[in-house]
Amino acid sequence: MTDNTSAGPLTRCWRALWKPGTRYATGTLLIGGFIAGIIFWGGFNTAMEMTNKEKFCIGCHEMRDFVYKEYQDSVHYNNRTGVRATCPDCHVPKAWIHKVVRKIQASNEVLHKVLGSIATEEKFEAKRLELAKNVWRTMKETNSRECRNCHDYQSMDYMEQATRSSRSHQSGFDQGLTCIDCHKGIAHSLPKGFEDGKL
């Protein structure tokens, strides 16, 4: 056996972790661990939910002054039935594992917030196409998963849709298209040159 007294405090803690407990009862450790687990897990999810609110998103002027303003003109903000889709409804996956992956990717956004990459309207407009393409690509890869959290094409009643929508939806789904293939720029302004069909 190694001599504990000659080892450093960290080494001693590490070794104690892997020996059977002698000071505390197993029950204390179990119940204590259970409660600590609830607090840790609950805290983790609460913190994650906090970053999943519109108020958090528009806490930065980049979001509040540019994209949020455009979104306020859209049907997802203001509509007949009063059902709203806020930022995270479209931009953060609902499923836990995808959500955590997205949250980790968001560290890149924190970096660019610090760098001020889109801090002014000019800088943002210069990057709009690139940023839009990122979202379009992701949506395409996930078969518009975030759209389909609410819009399920199997539940669509084509008889109730306008002529134009009904026709386009049916032919679109027949071709295997996904929501974002047609519905670009529904919540935010389109990048310059989009209507020329070159993007």
Partner 1 sequence: MMKLDIHMGLQRGLIVASAVFVMAGAAFAEDGLTSLRGNVPIGDSSPAPAISHWQRDDQLIERNFAEQPPLIPHHIKNYRIDLHSNKCLTCHNRATAQKTGAPEIGPTHFFDRDGNPTTGVSPRRYFCLQCHVPQKSVKPLVENTFRNANTE
CB of 194 to partner 1, least distance (A): 6
Handedness of CA 120, 125, 128, 130 (dihedral sign): negative
Q: Report which DSSP code applies to 59.
A: T
Instruction: Mark the segment that binds partner 1 (CB under 8 A) among 23-31, 45-53, 73-81, 88-96.
Output: 73-81
Residue 71 contacts residue 189 (beta carbons within 8 Å): no
Interface with partner 1 (CB under 8 A), residue from 75, 95, 101, 106: 75
- Kindly compute the dihedral angle of the four CA atoms of residues 119, 121, 122, 126, in this order, to the nearest 10 degrees: 80
Residue 174 contacts residue 57 (beta carbons within 8 Å): no
CB of 196 to partner 1, least distance (A): 6
The answer to whether residue 74 forms part of the interface with partner 1 (CB under 8 A) is yes
Interface with partner 1 (CB under 8 A), residue from 9, 163, 174, 175: 163
CB of 192 to partner 1, least distance (A): 4
Over the window 41 to 60, marking each residue x when it contacts partner 1 by CB under 8 A and - when it does not, the resulting string is --------------------
Q: Distance (Å, rounded) from C-alpha 68 to C-alpha 100? A: 23
* Token code pair at residue 145: 């998963």
Helix (H) or strand (E) holding 44: helix 26-50
Contacts with partner 1, residue ranges (CB under 8 A): 70, 73-75, 125, 128, 162-164, 167-168, 184-185, 189-192, 194-198
